[in-house]
Chains A and B, each alone.
Chain A
Amino acid sequence: MSESIRLEDVRVAFGTLIALDGLSLTVAAGEIVGLLGPNGAGKTTTVDVCCGLRPPDGGAVSILGVDAIRSPREVRASIGVVPQDSGLYPELTAIEHLRLAAALYGLKQASSRTEAMLRLMGLWDRRHAQVATFSGGMRRRLALARALLHDPPVLFLDEPTLGVDVQGRRALWDHVARLRDEGRSVLLTTNYLDEAAALCDRVAIIDHGQLIVCEEPGALRREGGVTVVLTVETAGPLDAMTVLLSQHPSVAEVTRTDHSVRARLDEDSQVATVIAMAQTVAPLASVRVIEPSLEDVFLKVTGRELRE
């Protein structure tokens, strides 16, 4: 797959604060990559650098093969951006926003394109309503419509569902997923792990401006290991089972409750072995395997909670 977005050893500093510290990342055509990290990790700075809004102190950035540092104007014509704060004017209507955007991008088929985008986002019926009357989800959809108006092959979505209710988030996810189907490349920053898991082909976790890991959500989960909950009929053998399981090289942590033992494994391939080992101590009433969440993965790779 060809690369639409490429960041190579990008460094950005705000005085003594290092915002991006040698960040390297690629996004292929038709791929959605989620940039996941706590507040201040460098997500928005990454988007700014890609858009040419902030020249990096070092490294290289290219969009569709064009140097974003040397030719920011050329790059801007081929990207669409949904910023974190939407940048909408409350007193303007939906259609007025798109008309302004069409003028700024010099679109020739402005009317038909505006209608198409508003219909696509389900805002056509509210096209003459002022944005002040819109819900959070509608505002974000309008921002997405504006970003797509000039049909850009590359999109940057900065926290696209921030402040949007559950229903609105689902609707936006559908729209974002459709972008991939249309062959567009999307770099999406988010604080929501479920969003990253649901939408992204790959998830890049950054912290302190550095890329910690970049994997498919499934692979990340696997890296996070699994937890096996083993329940027995009587509490008697639980101590012996705890001691035995803690000796297994793949078991990272064992905890016991009244009627069960929880064993966290580094590798999910060892689940069967651990269950068999437990059964040598006592018959098991039930076995439950819990996959790790991305939050667990984040905690594991960065050593801290996502929203610290």
Chain B
Amino acid sequence: MMAWTRAMLESARGQLVSFIRAPVTAILVLVLPLNLMLLMSLFALTGYNAPTGLVMDEDTPRAREFVQALRDAHNSFALRPMSREAAMEQLRCGRLVAVIEIPRGFDARIASGRRSRVQLTMDNVNLDMAEDVRRAVPAAAAIFAERLDLPKVRIRPTLINLLARDTGYVEYLGVSAVALAAVIAGGILGGTVIAREWETGAARLLLLAPAGAGAALIGRLVAAAGVGVLASGLTATIVVMGYGVPMSHPLEVVAGVVLTVAASTSLGGLVGVLLRRTLPIAPLILGTQLPFYLDSGALEPQRFDGEVLFRLAHLSPAYYGVGVMEHGYHHLVVTPEPVWVLLLVLALAAIVPAIVLGRVARR
């Protein structure tokens, strides 16, 4: 028993030493739960405290009471008092889900038992979330009436949609998943094919070839990107055929898929040449790109997860891919940058890492 314990402890010690000396696996295991936690937090952020602009054309006791009723009626949005102009601007930029306006004369109309209209302007890109806000207004009216003991109170929300066409959550999300497929497929394939050259020892021979390793490695990336485009193309087709989402701009979708895959493959290749091991590539790409994908406005176009996360999202091809896809399918503008800028950034993200890869491989 003593010998068994000693063997077991020695084995455990050896494994710990291995983890320390080859820390990639250990680091991944440490980082992965943090990633998942971040992932879950982002889900919560997107479904909770949806920012809603509150425009109060009068600051009267009944108006304040109605606002309090709004706050108490529903807890899935956060009311942000602001001017009408600021509210409309933020709604257009995707920083607000909806705007609730309490009109001038609200207090007087309620006091006299007349009907008062509360205007609700919604960003109908994500109808599901905006619907939460819409449902909250009648609920708030009921609370308001009960508190003020006004059984005949009549508050009717006037609904105005920001866009001419509704876009459901599933359709919106499905389209962004095309970008995610492109990023994940490209990144993993690119990283794996390049890291494998070092793992098998073939890189040494590529480096010795007069043509240079760059040509061979970029050839590998081109093949990987081809497979990535195929995989993402399949996802894009399913969105059309399965989800019934037509493409508003088919060429944009094609360009978006090709360039997002190319950029991700190229960046993945750079990761591969730096790590030179295939094992950590897939977890690393998944672990980094999923949070980036969520930050990129994939779940919601509204930017209520903060400026820092929004800026961080620009580091990943997912941000640009989602922007192109939403415009290509739904004709939605979900990024401040126009589509041609998004495509240009993706093209540069495909070319620059490939050049760096060629230089690193020359060593």
Contact A76 B200 (CB under 8 A): no
Q: Is the CB of A84 within 8 A of B201?
A: yes
Which of these binds chain A: B128-136, B208-216, B324-332? B208-216
Contact A87 B209 (CB under 8 A): no
Task: Tell which of A102-110, A233-241, A294-302 binds the partner.
Answer: A102-110
Chain A residue numbers with a CB within 8 Å of B216 are: 100, 104
A100–B200 Cα gap in the complex (Å)?
16
Closest-CB distance, B202 to chain A (whole angstroms): 4
Name the contact of A87 in the complex, choosing from B204, B210, B211, B215 (C-beta under 8 A).
B204
Q: Are A87 and B207 neighbours in the complex by a CB distance under 8 Å?
A: no
Nearest-neighbour CB distance to chain B for A154, whole angstroms, equals 12
Chain A residues near B210 (CB-CB < 8 A): 73, 76-77, 104-106
Shortest Cβ distance from B199 into A: residue: A85
Within 8 A of B (CB), among A169-208: none
Q: List residues 215-268 of chain A with CB under 8 A from any CB of chain B.
A: none
- In the complex, which residues 150-200 of chain B have their Cβ closer than 8 Å to any Cβ of chain A? 200
Number of interchain pairs (Cβ within 8 Å): 47
Check if B201 sits within 8 Å of A53, measured CB to CB: no
Q: Verify if B206 is at the interface (C-beta below 8 Å from A).
A: yes
Cα(A79)–Cα(B209), bound, Å: 10
- Interface status of A274 (Cβ within 8 A of chain B): no
Q: Does B205 touch A at the CB level, under 8 Å?
A: yes
The answer to the question of A45 belonging to the interface, with a C-beta cut-off of 8 Å to chain B, is: no
A88 in contact (CB, < 8 A): yes
Does B208 lie within 8 Å of A88, measured CB to CB? no
| A65 to B75 CA separation, bound complex (whole angstroms) | 81
Tell me which residues across on chain B come within 8 A of A81, comparing CB atoms.
Answer: 204-205, 208
B202 neighbours in A (Cβ, 8 Å): 87-89
A76 touches B208 (CB 8 A): yes
A87: chain B residues at CB < 8 Å are 200-205
Taking the closest CB of chain A, its distance from the CB of B147, in whole angstroms, is: 73
Q: Provide the residues of chain B in CB contact with A77, threshold 8 Å.
A: 210
Q: Report the separation of the CA atoms of residues A204 and B308 in the bound assembly, to the nearest whole angstrom.
A: 62
A43 to chain B, nearest CB (A): 15
Contact of B211 among A53, A86, A105 (CB under 8 A): A105
For B, the interface residue count at a CB cutoff of 8 angstroms equals 14
- A136 in the interface, Cβ–Cβ < 8 Å? no
Distance in Å from the Cβ of B223 to the closest Cβ of chain A? 12
Residues B201 and A51 in contact, CB atoms below 8 Å apart: no
In the complex, which residues 46-80 of chain A have their Cβ closer than 8 Å to any Cβ of chain B? 51, 53, 73, 76-77, 79
- A contact residues around B215 at 8 Å (CB): 104
In the bound assembly, the distance between CA atoms of A269 and B190 in angstroms comes to: 66
Nearest CB on B from A198, distance (A): 26
Size bracket of the A interface: 20 to 34
Closest chain-A Cβ to B38's Cβ sits at a distance in Å of 37
Q: Is the CB of B206 within 8 A of A85?
A: no
A83 interfacial contact with B, CB 8 Å: yes
Partner of B204, one of A53, A79, A100: A53
How far does the alpha carbon of A100 sit from the alpha carbon of B215 in the complex, in Å? 12
Nearest residue (CB) in A for B205 is A87
Chain A contacts for B206, CB-based, 8 A: 104
> Residue A88 contacts which of B200, B207, B209 (CB distance < 8 angstroms)?
B200
Q: Which of A73, A86, A105 contacts B201 (CB 8 A)?
A: A86
Who on chain B is nearest to A83 by CB?
B204
Bound CA–CA A51/B213 (angstroms): 14
CB distance from A130 to the nearest CB of B (A): 14
Instruction: Determine whether the beta carbon of A85 is less than 8 Å from that of B200.
Output: yes
Contact between A51 and B200, CB atoms less than 8 A apart: no
Contact B201 A104 (CB under 8 A): no
Query: Chain B residues near A146 (CB, 8 Å)?
Result: 205
CB nearest neighbor in A for B216: A104
Cα distance, A105 to B206, chains bound together (Å)? 10
Nearest-neighbour CB distance to chain B for A153, whole angstroms, equals 15
The answer to whether A83 touches B201 (Cβ under 8 A) is yes
| Bound CA–CA A105/B200 (angstroms) | 20
A14: shortest Cβ distance to chain B, in Å? 15
Most B C-beta atoms less than 10 A away, residue of A85, A104, A105: A104
A89 pairs with B200, CB closer than 8 A: yes
Taking a contact as CB atoms under 8 Å apart, the answer to whether A53 and B208 are in contact is yes
Alpha-carbon distance A106/B216, docked complex (angstroms): 12
Docked CA distance A101–B202 (Å): 11
Which residues of the other chain, B, contact A89 by a CB distance below 8 angstroms?
200, 202
| CA A73 to CA B215, docked complex, whole Å | 15
Interface contact A103-B201, CB-CB below 8 Å: no
Residues of B close to A88: CB separation below 8 A: 200, 202
Chain B residue with Cβ nearest A158: B204
Min Cβ gap A29→B in Å is 21
- Residue contact A83 to B205, C-beta cutoff 8 Å: yes
A82 nearest CB neighbor, chain B only: B205
Shortest distance between the CB of A167 and any CB in chain B (Å): 24
Q: Which residue of B lies closest to A53 (CB)?
A: B207
CB distance from B77 to the nearest CB of A (A): 55
Task: Point out the residues of chain A lying under 8 angstroms from B205, CB to CB.
Answer: 81, 83, 87, 101, 104, 146
In the complex, chain A residues whose CB is within 8 Å of the CB of B201: 83-87
A104 touches B200 (CB 8 A): no
Q: Cα distance A224–B224 when bound, in Å? A: 57
Bound-state Cα–Cα, A88 to B201, Å: 8
Please name 20 pairs of A and B residues whose Cβ atoms are closer than 8 Å in the assembled complex, sorted by A. Answer: A53-B204, A53-B207, A79-B208, A81-B205, A83-B205, A84-B201, A87-B200, A87-B204, A87-B205, A88-B202, A89-B200, A101-B205, A101-B209, A104-B209, A104-B211, A105-B209, A105-B210, A106-B210, A106-B211, A146-B205
Q: A73-B210, A104-B210, A104-B216 given; name 7 further pairs at CB < 8 Å.
A: A53-B208, A84-B201, A85-B200, A87-B204, A101-B209, A103-B211, A105-B209
Residues on A facing B (Cβ under 8 Å): 51, 53, 73, 76-77, 79, 81, 83-89, 100-101, 103-106, 146
Q: Sorted from nearest, which 8 A-B pairs have the closest CB atoms?
A: A85-B201, A104-B209, A87-B202, A87-B201, A87-B205, A77-B210, A104-B211, A83-B204
